[in-house]
Amino acid sequence: MSTVPHPRHGVDDLCAAGTELYERALHEGRVRAAEAAAAPCLIDFGLLHPGLEDLDWLEPVAPAVALHQLLRTSSERIADERRREARLAERFAPLLRSGGPRTPAVADTPSARVLSGTERINRAITEAMAEATREVLCVQPNSNYSNERGQIAQSVAMDRDQSLLDRGGRIRTLYQSTQRHVPLVMARYEQLRGDAEARTLDELTERLILVDRTVAFIPADDDRLMALEVRHPALVKYFGTTFDRLWSLATPMFPEAVRPPTLNGITPRQRAIATLLVEGHTDAVIADRLGMNVRTARVHIAKLAATLGSDSRAQLGYLIGRSGILDQEG
């Protein structure tokens, strides 16, 4: 019998199963060891440990003790990184002084480099934006600010965005249409002071941050734990052109929201879904492409079917084609 592997996560983003089991262990004083199979992270993070008298039971570590241990581990890791930075600086100092034979100036800055880890990625973006003088262009598909990690990222982004705006720069951001009414997204723009605009499209490219049209940041893996910092002029120009064309097609969201028009009772969202339906995509693919969950996608599909008078999925595809809604211009 196969089991679903436990998702990888940090202690700062404890899973629901782990949170529930740890809270129960604190309340009851112990839990059975077999119950930890659904949340092995509790043992990995040192929040539960085997009982001394009976190994079939796990006892919780007091939250204050666990927090102290985790903070001490974090401090030691930061200290190790600083020592490593000092060793690297010492090792490269003579090499930097000696230079290299016939080394062109452009070689000082690589055309692309891989950034690994959220902290390093955010640090590189912050450093690039600190030097920006004109604009930052962003593509942010299906942003998630609901969890703690997302809220921390939002706070960091707010600070560096406001700093650019205070220097007279501008910010242009593209979101998916599903983000138009997300309170945290709207609150972000209501707090920013300066030349900041946002627009939306049903479908977007992957995440992109383009700073002064000289350096771009794009994901390098599906989990977004790695990124590419791109400085090659041809690639950066390509990213800028792509953004400009998407921007011209997008619907304004801030500072002045424009409501996408409804044609013959069909909303723009339903038209986007209709396009993907006739291409033969599943509900899951449609939801992923449009930045929504499957349940929401199915609600929109049901409303589209009701509007067109369809009784089945096969008939819906036929009625979409006959209705001509995909030929209409918004």
CA nearest neighbour of 282 among 261, 313, 236: 313
What's the whole-number mean pLDDT along residues 297-315? 79
User: CA-based angle 272:198:192, to the nearest 5?
Assistant: 150
Please identify which residue in the block is written with the tokens 């539960």: 48
pTM of the model: 0.54
pLDDT band at 104 (very low <50, low <70, confident <90, very high): very low
Q: Is the pLDDT reported for residue 153 higher than 70?
A: no
- 272 Cβ neighbours under 8 A, 6+ residues apart: 177, 202, 203, 290
Asked whether residue 240 carries a pLDDT value surpassing 90, the answer given is: yes
Model pLDDT, residue 301: 81
Cis peptide before 141 (omega within 30 of 0): no
For residue 148, name the pLDDT band (cuts at 50, 70, 90). Answer: low
In this prediction, residue 90 carries a pLDDT of 81
State the DSSP code for 34. G
* CA proximity to 215, closest of 237, 196, 194, 200: 237
* SS3 label, residue 195: strand
Least confident of 18-27, 82-91, 150-159, 284-293: 150-159
Region 10-38 average pLDDT: 85
Q: What is the DSSP string of 206-244?
A: S-EEEETTTEEEEESSTTSSEEEEE--HHHHHHHHHHHH
Q: Could you tell me the sign of the dihedral formed by the alpha carbons of 71, 43, 119, 287, in that order?
A: negative
pLDDT confidence bin for 106, thresholds 50/70/90? very low
The tokens of 36 are what?
């930890």
Residue 28 has pLDDT above 70, yes or no: yes
Structure token digits, residue 137: 């262009």
User: What amino acid occupies position 192?
Assistant: L
Is residue 208 pLDDT above 60, yes or no? yes
Ordered strands of the 57-60 beta sheet = 31-32, 57-60, 48-50
Closest CA relative to residue 118, chosen from 242, 225, 22, 201? 225
Q: Which of 207, 141, 149 is nearest to 178 (CA)?
A: 141
Tokens of 71: 């903070």
